[in-house]
Chain A
């Protein structure tokens, strides 16, 4: 510490001397005003007194070291305190001196000792400096070579021209504003008035428009319910109608006749379902026309019967909800689906396909159709069930439906080759338009299949319950044995995909 002090003193002395020659080489002495400010004399006095105090201490220590006597600490401490005092005085003087040149931070401690140099520096950060230079270049473009006074003049001229341009723009804006009444709260002075007739027309149109946008009124007309023959691109993908639709328009004239009348009676909310119903109807038309194996022919006959019976049942169907109507349409689609790819649908359809019958039975079948991949539709149908009254064995239906769902799903997912299966699913569940067979019987048949030859005696009472709803058709005699026979017969025919289906079913059961 003492060494540091001794070193600082010669520096101080140098400080006093250096500024004099280095600051303004052209001038020999400092400006007298600066000299007065600097108060160099005082600094010199303080420095010398500090020097004396420190040298005194040094002498004392030399003496102690020489004579080997124990130093008297009070004396030494006193001398140190003198040094301290002198230090304070000189720092004070230095501060006054160097106010013009340096900044002396008051509070320096460990935390800010690193940052202080950066914070105190007047030089900009490098990025800021480059920005500054860029802006300066832009401003002084072409002017940097001139003397500073000229630069200032030119900048002033530039500012003046810009201000003038702004003022003239303001004037133009305000004039036009006045002329056209823009932005004026009182509005234009001359307000053209509309004829009353015109105003009334406009108001009417406005009502129409607002109603259409906000509430959707007036957008639906009678003929709107007809399906457009060609769906726009964005819907064609989504609704899967497209090409199939066009194929089917020609095939089954009977079905086509049916749809418009039904559609007209349906409320506006059934558009899509009707559309899909139309699709499905059309598809079933093609299926109808394809040559079918033996087992399908009786069903085709039944389908024809359904067609014939349909007009009779139309009044009933009109009163149904749209779902039901759609589903009835779908029922007529005895989807004798060609190809082995659609195994699942067909056997069920064939089992269920009957002549058209009661609503309830339709609904029942609709329930049964909620199978596997058509959970969505199945939900619709179960809703139908919920809505309709008088359908017997609701619990049974639901149970059967869930049973069917759980069992059918794996098969469905495994063997679903194309999207055309979806409508087939719709179809098979919904078809089976046997008015005489009961839904419960169908479900029972399902259940029997699913349970793999369960106790037939247990089944019979259920069948009898179902039988109460109406007569039974050919396929669904309420006799488990005959059903089993049918199953066997089906299985016997290797070509029959129903057989394959049954096989799969039996596999399911296992």
Chain B
């Protein structure tokens, strides 16, 4: 299972967000460049159609492949009260022929996208990962070098944390408290719920940047 929230931020404020995150997380930011291929099963493959994501991490030196399956999210009155989306998720590293394997199984490519940005992974109550990335689409099939952003002026911020069914309440609490720290720059919400831009974002970004980029930790 994982807990996830998403938010958007204008591209002009991304650097300020990076500074804020570095101060909050205390770890170095890592480059992120992931080619995401979303495969869907054809109708006769199973009783229900399923979707699998193959992530290829393109950050050098070596490309690593990951298989990810995202399941349904928690529903109910309790789920509505939580500000974070909790959903089943299974993830595993895979060898580089995973794509061919899934094609052989009968999955077809539904869409692909390229995430370019940075990420922070740290532990604060729970193992939290924050990624700030621009989502790019590829004009030609698999042409990751010629990817253009879907929305040039806006980037996606995702905060995720793995959880189990026993400890998800603590993980949710840890994530919520962390997300509050980001309140001046952006609002985070469950995927699918749009938030809009935070009005204080510009001022907050300006103040973050005014320190000359902050001091190196």
* Chain A residues within 8 Å of B, Cβ to Cβ: 180-183, 187-188, 191-194, 199, 202-203, 205-210, 212-214, 216, 218-221, 223-228, 230-235, 237-239, 268-273, 275, 322, 375-377, 379-380, 383, 386-387
The reply to whether the CB of B79 lies closer than 8 angstroms to some CB of chain A is no
Which 10 A/B pairs are nearest by Cβ-Cβ distance?
A376-B104, A216-B111, A269-B108, A228-B143, A228-B140, A234-B63, A271-B109, A219-B111, A219-B137, A205-B151
Is there contact, CB below 8 Å, between B141 and A226? yes
- Give chain A's interface secondary structure class: helix
Per-position 1/0 for B118-159, Cβ under 8 A of A: 000000000000000001011111111110001101101000
Per-position 1/0 for B68-108, Cβ under 8 A of A: 00000000000000000000000000001101100111101
Is there contact, CB below 8 Å, between A180 and B202? no
**5 contacts across the A-B interface (CB closer than 8 A):** A210-B8, A224-B137, A224-B141, A232-B35, A239-B100
Is there contact, CB below 8 Å, between A228 and B141? yes
Complex CA gap A347/B54 in Å reads 38
Is there contact, CB below 8 Å, between A199 and B96? no
For chain B, which range describes its interface: under 10, 10 to 19, 20 to 34, or 35 or more residues?
35 or more
Please judge, given known A-B contacts A212-B113, A273-B108, whether A234 and B141 are in contact too, CB under 8 Å.
no
Is there contact, CB below 8 Å, between A383 and B106? yes
* Chain B residues within 8 Å of A, Cβ to Cβ: 6, 8, 10, 35, 38, 40, 42, 44, 56, 58, 63, 96-97, 99-100, 103-106, 108-113, 135, 137-146, 150-151, 153-154, 156, 180-181, 183-184, 191-192, 194-197, 199-200, 202-204, 207
Please tell me which one of the listed residues B44, B96, B156, B200 contacts residue A387 in the complex, with CB atoms under 8 A apart: B44
Is there contact, CB below 8 Å, between A216 and B110? yes
Please judge, given known A-B contacts A216-B110, A269-B108, A376-B103, whether A209 and B141 are in contact too, CB under 8 Å.
no
Please tell me which one of the listed residues B141, B184, B196, B203 contacts residue A203 in the complex, with CB atoms under 8 A apart: B196
Chain B residue at minimum C-beta to C-beta distance from A380: B106
Complex CA gap A182/B56 in Å reads 37
Which of chain A's residues have a CB closer than 8 A to the CB of B137?
212, 218-221, 224
Is there contact, CB below 8 Å, between A188 and B203? yes
Complex CA gap A274/B195 in Å reads 39
Which of chain A's residues have a CB closer than 8 A to the CB of B106?
379-380, 383
Please judge, given known A-B contacts A207-B194, A239-B99, A376-B103, whether A233 and B63 are in contact too, CB under 8 Å.
yes
Please tell me which one of the listed residues B180, B192, B199 contacts residue A214 in the complex, with CB atoms under 8 A apart: B192
Which of chain B's residues have a CB closer than 8 A to the CB of A275?
141-142
Is there contact, CB below 8 Å, between A192 and B200? yes
Which of chain A's residues have a CB closer than 8 A to the CB of B195?
206
Which of chain A's residues have a CB closer than 8 A to the CB of B153?
205
Please tell me which one of the listed residues A199, A206, A224, A386 contacts residue B139 in the complex, with CB atoms under 8 A apart: A224
Is there contact, CB below 8 Å, between B110 and A202? no
Is there contact, CB below 8 Å, between B113 and A216? yes
Is there contact, CB below 8 Å, between B196 and A206? yes
Complex CA gap A247/B209 in Å reads 52
Complex CA gap A506/B156 in Å reads 62
Is there contact, CB below 8 Å, between B199 and A191? yes
Complex CA gap A2/B171 in Å reads 71
Is there contact, CB below 8 Å, between A192 and B199? yes
Please judge, given known A-B contacts A205-B154, A219-B111, A272-B109, whether A235 and B202 are in contact too, CB under 8 Å.
no
Question: Which of A212, A218, A226, A387 is the most central at the interface, judged by chain B CB atoms within 10 Å of its CB?
Answer: A212
Is there contact, CB below 8 Å, between A238 and B150? no
**A192-B202, A205-B8, A270-B109 provided; 7 other pairs, C-beta below 8 A?**
A193-B199, A212-B113, A212-B150, A216-B111, A228-B143, A232-B143, A238-B100
Question: Which of B6, B35, B112, B150 is the most central at the interface, judged by chain A CB atoms within 10 Å of its CB?
Answer: B150
Which of chain B's residues have a CB closer than 8 A to the CB of A234?
35, 56, 58, 63, 96
Which of chain A's residues have a CB closer than 8 A to the CB of B140?
223-224, 226-228
Complex CA gap A375/B103 in Å reads 12
* Nearest Cβ on chain A to B92's Cβ, whole angstroms: 17
Question: Which of B142, B150, B181, B192 is the most central at the interface, judged by chain A CB atoms within 10 Å of its CB?
Answer: B142
* Nearest Cβ on chain B to A227's Cβ, whole angstroms: 5
